[in-house]
Each structure stands twice: as structure tokens, then as C-alpha cells.
Amino acid sequence: MTLPGDLAKEIARRRTFAIISHPDAGKTTLTEKLLLFGGAIHLAGSVKSRKANRHATSDWLAMEKERGISITASVLNFDYHGFRINLLDTPGHQDFSEDTYRALTAADSAIMLLDNRKGVEEQTRKLFNVCQRRRLPIFTLVNKCDREGEDPLGIIDDVHRDLGIRAFAATWPVRVNGRLVGVYDRADERVILYDTSSDHGQSRPTFNVVAVDDEALDERLGKKGAATLRDEIALLTEAGEPLDPAAVARGEATPVFFGSALTNFGIDVLLERFLAAAPAPVARENGKGLVDPITTPFSGFVFKVQANMDLKHRDRIAFLRVCSGRFEAGTDAIIGRTGKTLRLAQPQEFMARERSQADDVVAGDVVGLHDRGHLRVGDTVAVGEVMEYPGVPRFSPEHFSQVRLGEPMKRKQLDRGLQHLAEEGTILLLYAPSITGPVPIVGAVGRLQFDVLTDRLEREYSVSIRLEPLPYHCARWVTGSAPEANEIAALHGRRMVEDVDGHPMILFDNEWALQRSMSQSTDVEFHDVQPKTRR
């Protein structure tokens, strides 16, 4: 039996977050450093060998390896300096952004990574906006400062103007002849000078901490270099945005750190500050009110389902974010969507390619549950009461294809495979009525999802299909007057279909046609996320 105080203590050390960035900003490198410093992995050999291993943390799908992209959003669970970390891995490729958006619903905070030569990029902007909608505290790391890049104040200004969030320098890069040698830590008014002769990012660099007016600074940076740094610091203090931790907690400001995930310079300061200030799980809205993470019995929601993670076992894992209480295997919980009872099985935790039984799972944790087809993305599971956490988004696809089966005898396998993969959220499965029976149509936010579908159907269900592209580019779920919806769908460049839950949807050949229909209709409502399934 666990004491409530013990539960509160456990929950307080949970940090559940994601790293958001545009591809190539250094997310994989930073993730590895977290694992390395946390003692969760041991890197041998040179940094260069990293490339071969770079997808080691989320390469469940063979395709990921073949293409060198990260497809599945997964989680890494590990301990770091007394904190229990649940790091949500977000796929970098934009075709899988839907997975990423969903993973963000499970996060309590985020680290936003920028390339010091590029500042805010397209994917950063999109992911930032998703985080902002939930007012998640966001900490910014301007990465790759081991090479020269844009002026630090220019990047801070870019964050402020482009993303519309107040940004202030939390650290400041210290350079000698253009080379990064340390960072100035504004909160503690200290300069951290790294040993530049240490190995190349394989371990924590050794460093000296000196005060701003310490003579050691003049020795290390030279008189001129030290004077420049002191001027910059004076300017920051007088004219820069002040440090404002309270605004960060409210998601209204972001502290900007400078560093290099490659050489580790400035990374310790970021992690130390981030883990201390990032929120432990807080109360979440479940539609009826706030759910306290400590006093409410177990509840959580599924943000991802992954079928066939291990082909040998043909198993299906539902990734669950625990929102309150403690997970007790063997207890009966209720699935909010169906009202059915689910006996909680032993949860799994993840580290690189390994999974193991999770020990003490409490609010904030993200674990995998073996699922026999009862759970879907967006489902809430709770002990003692029917609950439904809102907010796992299902996005309207932008690409559509009709599924043509290679071997007609395999229709059953096809339907099963399509259904499983649709339940994962890999694709949106739709059916168009026809005289020979419903015709399967698949929709995806990004085209690569189609390749994943074809590949997985072949590999996991032995079904070969051909996808015939359809000329539609947007879709909306429709509710309201069915006759009017049918009239709209009968117009040129439109088509009526149904999703697997029987919700009607209209496909449109372009955004203009959609806008026109929306402005002209009187009794039909259009939705870009799936309307709630009624029980």
C-alpha cells in the first residue's frame, strides 16, 4: 500500500517533455547527450559512429532504417539526476507531423531547439504553435554555437518576432577568436569556461566557473575578449529582457540558452535549469473539470497505438500518458469511449530498442500497454469513473488514394491490415459507397505515410496493394443536414465518403472549393477534427 505522500513525491520528480525542432537542428544529438549524461547509455567510439546508430532509439520499423528517417513517435523513460524523465520522441519528418502533434498532447513542457545559423524554421514554428495552444512552458536552446552563426540578440529577436513569445537570454555565448569557450549564466552571474582540449562530446566537459570581474577571465579570454564580454553582459543587464521565470511557467516567455549539443558546451546549464523549472505533472482538464494528479485515482489517455512492434509476437502497444494516480496492474479500469472494462496489464517502459516491465508508474509517466484491440488513439482509461480527456487531435488528411488489391482473394487480410493501421492513426481509412460494396480510400497528412502503409501491409499482413492517387486535397467531417451535405458532395470535384466510425466526410479537390461550400451552406457544419464518437 502506498502512502499519499510517497505518491506526491514520486509525481513531483516526473518530467515529461518533448524536444521540438526543425530536422537537422540537433535533436538526435541532444537526446543522446541526455541519455549519456543520465547514464542510460554508454557511447563508445567516436562521434562519427553516431550516424550509423542515430536511429537506434526509435527504429522499430524497418523502413525507418532503410530511409534514415524517424517515423514513429516513441518515448524514452530514464532517470536523470533524481528526476524521472519521460522523453517523448517526436518524428522530425514533416509527413509524420500528426504523430508529433499527438505526442505533444502527452508532454508537460518542451525544449525548442534552433540552429544558430537558421533561427526559427518552418517545422519549429508549427510545433511551437501546438505547444503554445496548451500554454506549455518552452525552453529554447540555440544549438551549434561551436560554429559561428547569427548574432545572439538577432536570434532572440527572431524568436520574439516570428513566434510572438517574449524571449530573454538565460545564457550568453562566450567566444575567443570566434571559438565557443563557455557561456555566461545570467541567473547566477557566473561564467562557465570549458576545457576546449577535452574529448569531442563523448563525455561531460570539464569546466571552471569564474565571476564576471575575476581576473581569470582576462587570462582566459585576453584583455580585449574579457572587456567585450563584460560590455555584452552590461548591455544585457541594462537593455535586455529581464529573466522572468513566472512568465516561462505560464508559457508567456521562453528563456534562451546558447550551446552545442555536439561538444556539450552550455548543455549542462540548460538541463539543470530546465529540469528544475519545468513543471511536474499538473491537473488536467477532462471536460468536466480539473483532474488532480495526486488525489484522483489512476487515469490516463492513449496518444499512440503501434501494431506489430515485434513481428514475432504480433503485438500491439498502446502508449498511455498517465494523468493521475498510480498504475496498478490487475486493476479494472473503464475505457471512456466505450464504457467497457479493461483489466490493466503490466505496463512496459522503453529505453532505446529495449523494453522492460515498468515498476512504479504514476501520473506523468508514459508507458506502453499490450492491447488486444480494445484501445484507440484518444481513448481515456480511468479507475472508478468514466472519464474522457479531450485533445488528442486527428487531422484532416491532404492526400487521398484508392486502395487496389493485388490479389482479390486477400480481401480479408487487407481489411484487417487496413483496420489495424488505421487504428494506429497511420492513415485515415475511409469508404466510398459503390454498387460492388464499399471501396477503401486512404487519406494521409503526408505522402510518406502511404509508403509506410504499402510497406507494412506487405511486410506484416502479406498483402500487396497499389495506391491510385485521387484528385482531392482536403476533407472535412460534416454534421447537420444530411440532404444538404449530399447536395454539396454531388458538386464537381467533391465526393462523399465515410470514416471507419461511420462519420460522413466530404473530399474536396481544392481549398477554394471547400471554402465556397463552407460559406454557402446553411445547415451543414464542417469540422477539421473528427467529431466525437457517441457511445
Minimum distance from residue 28 beta carbon to ligand G4P (Å): 3
Residue type for 8, please?
A
Cell of 8: 506526491
Of the two residues 32 and 423, which places its CB atom closer to ligand G4P in the complex? 32
Minimum distance from residue 47 beta carbon to ligand G4P (Å): 7
Of the two residues 143 and 308, which places its CB atom closer to ligand G4P in the complex? 143
Interface with ligand G4P by CB under 6 A: which range of 43-51, 280-288, 314-322, 437-445?
A: 43-51
51: contact with ligand G4P by CB under 6 A: yes
25: contact with ligand G4P by CB under 6 A: yes
Of the two residues 269 and 489, which places its CB atom closer to ligand G4P in the complex? 269
**Binds ligand G4P (CB under 6 A): choice among 16, 28, 77, 396:** 28
Minimum distance from residue 257 beta carbon to ligand G4P (Å): 12
| Residues 246-265, interacting with ligand G4P (CB under 6 A) | 260-262
**Burial of residue 389, with CB atoms counted within 10 A of its CB: 0-12 exposed, 13-18 middle, 19 or more buried:** buried
454: contact with ligand G4P by CB under 6 A: no
Minimum distance from residue 318 beta carbon to ligand G4P (Å): 26
Largest CA distance in the chain: 86
Distance CA 265, CA 259 (A): 5
Residue type for 179, please?
R
Residues 6+ apart with CB under 8 A from 180: 145, 146, 173, 174, 260, 263, 265, 266
Of the two residues 347 and 446, which places its CB atom closer to ligand G4P in the complex? 446
Radius of gyration of the chain, Cα coordinates, nearest whole angstrom? 25
**Binds ligand G4P (CB under 6 A): choice among 24, 214, 252, 451:** 24
26: contact with ligand G4P by CB under 6 A: yes
**Three-state SS sequence of 179-199:** EEEEEEECCCCEEEEECCCCC
Secondary structure E strands in 8-68: 14-21
27: contact with ligand G4P by CB under 6 A: yes
Minimum distance from residue 1 beta carbon to ligand G4P (Å): 44
Of the two residues 133 and 147, which places its CB atom closer to ligand G4P in the complex? 147
Q: What SS3 class is residue 249?
A: helix
Distance CA 504, CA 483 (A): 12
DSSP string for residues in 122-149:
HHHHHHHHHHHHTT--EEEEEE-TTS--
Minimum distance from residue 89 beta carbon to ligand G4P (Å): 10
Q: Which of 277, 3, 289, 2 is nearest to 139 (CA)?
A: 277
Site string for ligand G4P, 92-111 (x = CB under 6 A): x-------------------
Distance CA 110, CA 171 (A): 18
Minimum distance from residue 289 beta carbon to ligand G4P (Å): 38
Q: Which of 389, 362, 401, 509 is nearest to 102 (CA)?
A: 389
| Residues 119-148, interacting with ligand G4P (CB under 6 A) | 143-144, 146-147
71: contact with ligand G4P by CB under 6 A: no
- The footprint of ligand G4P on this chain (CB under 6 A) covers a number of residues equal to 20
Minimum distance from residue 231 beta carbon to ligand G4P (Å): 26
Minimum distance from residue 229 beta carbon to ligand G4P (Å): 21
CA contacts within 13 A on the Cβ side of 502: 3
Interface with ligand G4P by CB under 6 A: which range of 45-53, 290-298, 360-368, 380-388?
A: 45-53
Handedness of CA 439, 440, 444, 447 (dihedral sign): negative
Kind of pairing, strands 332-335 and 380-382?
A: antiparallel
Do residues 377 and 273 lie in contact, with contact meaning Cβ atoms separated by under 8 Å? no
Q: Which residues bind ligand G4P (CB under 6 A)?
A: 21, 23-29, 48, 50-51, 54, 92, 143-144, 146-147, 260-262
